[in-house]
Amino acid sequence: MPGRVFVLFNPSAGKGRCAKRIGFFLDLLGRHLKEFRHTVTARAGDEDAVVDRALAEGYDTIVAVGGDGTWSRAADRIVRNGRNDVALGLLAGGTGNDFGKSVGVTFDRSEESVRAIAEGRRSRIDVGRVGDRHFLNVVGFGFDIAVIDDAASTPLLKGDVLYRFCAAKQLFRFPGLPLDIAAGEEPSRRIDHLMLIIANARIFGGSFRIAPRADLSDGMLDLVSIGNAGPLRRAKLFDLVARGRHTEEPEVEMLRAPSFRVGFRAPLRYEVDGEVVAADGEALEVASVPSALDLLAPGDLRS
């Protein structure tokens, strides 16, 4: 059973769509849980303080209702506080809900997700860490950032359609990004990238199977390096990534390791589960944190 349950709603997730679903989720939770407390955040980043307070008050389960950013921040606070006894439940109210698609948490499966929470259906999973921030899904560099920036200024579209529309535009605009990459203690190599993704789970960008062999319980991260190319070749790669059939292409390198180093020689912005961050220094280490979190989800998390 889930013990004492605290539910966090991010009303701004999904470009405000989550706010319209709060009543739906409260009704669903009320039908399956004997008791829970909930709060609605007021500003971006409030999740950190809210989860810290819930942990200090002794809650056994934190349920994050929103999208990848909300889920990621809640997971980060649980792991950073060393709370191996606390489980994280997820409900989908965001734009892409990318991590959820790897673990069976989608809006159309909301009742299954609530049942998994109510039954205390725990699976121990790995998380990633970049700097002092933990993440559930991916760290992304290059083309990914250009698409996120474009999506933020495209108000009328949502979900998978939004990402695909903005990605199609950026295929012909993004100049490429040179990065040094290394697995573990190996020497670094400089590659002119279209995109670099370091993944804990399989899906990003709404529905792109970027790391189709990623496993949430293997203590490893999957690096997907896509080299720069001309516009027509980019369009072909984009189509292949959408179908998870890019892994054998000559521009694509797939690596699996417990940690990776990413070096850069100019100011760099990167994304952590959809949130854009400015890097300090000239290198980042991205590492797996094995068996770091108990997740409550309806999907089969063994692969």
Domain ranges of the chain: 5-126+292-296, 138-290
Model pLDDT for residues 72-111, shown as the tens digit of each residue: 999 999 999 999 999 999 999 987 899 999 999 999 999 9
Helices 17-32 and 110-118 sit at what angle, rounded to 10 degrees?
A: 50
Mean pLDDT (the chain, rounded): 92
Structure tokens at 301: 């998390």
Give the residue carrying structure tokens 């200090």.
56
pTM of the model: 0.92
Architecture, CATH, for domain 5-126+292-296: 3-Layer(aba) Sandwich (3.40)
In this prediction, residue 228 carries a pLDDT of 95
Are 271 and 148 spatial neighbours (Cβ–Cβ below 8 Å)?
yes
Q: How confident is residue 303, by pLDDT bands cut at 50, 70 and 90?
A: very low
Q: Please choose, from the candidates 101, 81, 120, the residue with its C-alpha nearest in 3D space to the C-alpha of residue 295.
A: 120
- Whether 27 shows a pLDDT value over 60: the answer reads yes
Fold match flag (5-126+292-296 vs 138-290): no
| CATH number assigned to the domain with residue range 138-290, chosen from the 4 options 1.10.3720.10, 3.40.50.620, 2.60.200.40, 1.10.10.10 | 2.60.200.40
- Whether 203 shows a pLDDT value over 60: the answer reads yes
- How far are the Cα atoms of 23, 102, 271, 277 from residue 138, in angstroms, in the given order? 30, 12, 8, 13
- Whether 296 shows a pLDDT value over 70: the answer reads yes
Q: Please choose, from the candidates 135, 133, 77, the residue with its C-alpha nearest in 3D space to the C-alpha of residue 279.
A: 133
Structure tokens at 214: 């990623």
Q: How confident is residue 158, by pLDDT bands cut at 50, 70 and 90?
A: low
- Residues belonging to the chain: 303
